[in-house]
């Protein structure tokens, strides 16, 4: 029989684990600030800083792997990421495009590369994109690997919700004063529809859907813990945050994300009704009073939100009617349908491994069948406006499958664990953004990528810790 470890050695190990856990939380908090306030990570300097800061997350992962239990977890859950890295690494040595110069203009021609092997049209872009993706994913994966206390996870989520609230208020004030650029006009925006510190309104919308789900999860958690003293718990503050975050989405002019957050809020309201009904039945109380109060509160909050965003909502409704009329005249979905068709043709030519990570802008112009309009300006697309379709075009079916498995493999490890309310709300937000990615490109924004993996791994870790607490 093995002798027990000396208490001094056990205490030293616990202190080291606590320091590592603190390092993970501080690192993620600063990462969130960098990406969310640094134009969503879509400015060159903020993307480079995110790559460097993400490397620190990788170093923390390596430090955690000195523990045998953590090494075992990493082997079980990170093998899809390892295989994806291998594919992208091999592609760097198999260029599929060649740069040419004609009359001083730079052109690119297909060379095909080595058939049957991963390749890339833009090795430098693939290398940089993989660096950023690995840094974000490993940094968030550290939650699953290192964090041992649920209250620390809640603190991180509270910080994320508070940061999102400040961003929403900042963006709302910026909108009302009609700022011509980011940071009250100090920084020109390449997009007309910007909001807060985000260059593109739909990126802000996707980020905020995740943050609304996060705040609703915290509200549900604290409300359940403080049913008898609801107003002295953090839950009312969470509802205030949800209100301002939800209002900011229509103010940002993001129509699709407005629908997503309405669906999320509607689901939360139904969930509250069901839980209240069960609670009242269990205690013999009346259900009519809380239902009436909750319904009135929803209508009042909705009325205030509509009043605040009314000019923007009416403007976007008029734009929607105009676009629908154009689609009817064309007899289809217009330019978007052509874009998807051309992207699928691009993907079909290298269906197994794709054209290379982050290679879409360089390759797609060869497949773009849209001709210049009456203004004679060509259509140029940096994104496919469908992250799923673009992933197949860039990484192929194999790379896209590995991306999906990187989320699915650790999720399947929860067999036998019953997720709590907080985790369910976090994953509801993740699921909505995944659905949204079929018709837009939310994952083209590093802040959205970070927020998605943060919510996903936080939900996983919280569920595992709840299960451990129940067992003990």
pTM, entire model = 0.89
Answer yes or no: are the C-beta atoms of 157 and 218 closer than 8 Å. Answer: yes
Cα–Cα distance between 193 and 355 in angstroms, integer? 30
Answer yes or no: are the C-beta atoms of 138 and 53 closer than 8 Å. Answer: no
Give Cα 185 distance to the centre of its chain. 27
Give Cα 133 distance to the centre of its chain. 12
pLDDT tens for the 472 residues of the chain, in order: 344 444 445 556 677 788 999 999 999 999 999 999 999 999 999 999 999 999 999 999 999 998 888 889 899 999 999 999 999 999 999 998 877 666 556 667 777 678 789 999 999 999 999 999 999 999 999 999 999 999 999 999 999 999 999 999 999 999 989 899 999 999 988 888 899 999 999 999 999 999 999 999 999 998 877 666 666 677 888 889 999 999 999 888 888 899 999 999 988 888 888 777 776 666 555 656 566 666 666 667 666 766 666 666 656 565 655 555 555 555 556 678 889 999 999 999 999 999 999 999 999 988 988 876 555 556 778 899 999 999 999 999 999 999 999 999 999 988 878 888 999 999 999 999 999 999 999 999 999 999 999 999 999 999 999 876 544 3
In terms of Cα–Cα distance, which of 438, 426, 434 is closest to 406?
434
The length of the chain, given as a count of residues: 472
Q: Which residues pair with 256 in a beta bridge?
A: none
Torsion sign across C-alpha atoms 339, 344, 346, 347: positive
Give the phi and the psi of residue 191 in degrees, each rounded to 5.
-115, 140
Torsion sign across C-alpha atoms 20, 21, 25, 31: positive
């Amino acid at each position: 029989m093995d002798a027990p470890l000396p208490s001094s050695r056990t205490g030293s190990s616990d202190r080291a684990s606590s320091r590592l856990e603190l390092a993970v939380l501080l690192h993620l908090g600063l990462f969130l600030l960098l990406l969310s306030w640094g134009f969503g990570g879509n400015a060159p300097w903020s993307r480079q800083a995110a790559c460097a800061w993400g490397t620190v997350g990788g170093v923390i992962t390596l430090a955690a792997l000195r523990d045998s239990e953590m090494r075992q977890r990493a082997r079980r859950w990170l093998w899809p990421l390892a295989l994806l890295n291998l594919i992208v690494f091999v592609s760097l040595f198999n260029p599929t495009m060649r740069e040419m110069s004609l009359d001083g203009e730079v052109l690119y021609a297909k060379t095909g590369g080595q058939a049957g092997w991963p390749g890339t049209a833009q090795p430098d872009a693939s290398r940089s994109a993989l660096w950023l993706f690995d840094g974000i994913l490993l940094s968030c994966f550290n939650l699953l690997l290192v964090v041992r206390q649920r209250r620390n996870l809640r603190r991180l989520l509270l910080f994320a919700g508070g940061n999102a609230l400040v961003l929403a208020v900042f963006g709302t004030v910026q909108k009302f004063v009609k700022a011509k650029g980011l940071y009250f006009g100090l920084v020109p925006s390449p997009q007309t529809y910007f909001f807060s510190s985000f260059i593109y309104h739909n990126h802000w919308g996707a980020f905020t859907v995740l943050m609304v789900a996060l705040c609703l999860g915290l509200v549900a958690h604290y409300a359940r813990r403080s049913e008898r003293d609801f107003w002295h718990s953090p839950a009312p503050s969470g509802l205030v945050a949800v209100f301002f975050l939800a209002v900011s989405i229509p103010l940002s002019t993001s129509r699709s994300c407005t629908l997503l957050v309405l669906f999320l809020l509607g689901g939360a309201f139904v969930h509250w009704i069901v839980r209240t009904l069960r609670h009242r039945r269990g205690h013999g109380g009346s259900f009519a009073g809380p239902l009436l109060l909750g319904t009135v509160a929803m209508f009042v909050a909705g009325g205030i939100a509509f009043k605040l965003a009314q000019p923007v909502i009416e403007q976007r409704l008029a734009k929607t009617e105009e676009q629908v009329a154009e689609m009817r005249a064309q007899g289809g979905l217009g330019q978007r349908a052509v874009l998807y068709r051309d992207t699928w043709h691009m993907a079909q030519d290298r269906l197994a491994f794709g054209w290379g990570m982050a290679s879409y802008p360089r390759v797609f112009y060869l497949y773009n069948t849209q001709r210049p309009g009456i203004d004679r300006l060509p259509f140029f697309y940096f994104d496919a406006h469908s992250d799923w379709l673009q992933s197949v075009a860039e990484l192929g079916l194999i790379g896209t499958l590995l991306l999906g498995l990187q989320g699915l493999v650790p999720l399947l490890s929860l067999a036998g664990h019953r997720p709590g309310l907080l985790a369910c709300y976090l994953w509801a937000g993740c699921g909505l953004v995944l659905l949204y990615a079929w018709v837009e490109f939310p994952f083209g924004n590093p802040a959205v990528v970070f927020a998605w993996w943060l919510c996903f791994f936080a939900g996983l870790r919280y569920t595992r810790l709840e299960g451990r607490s129940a067992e003990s």
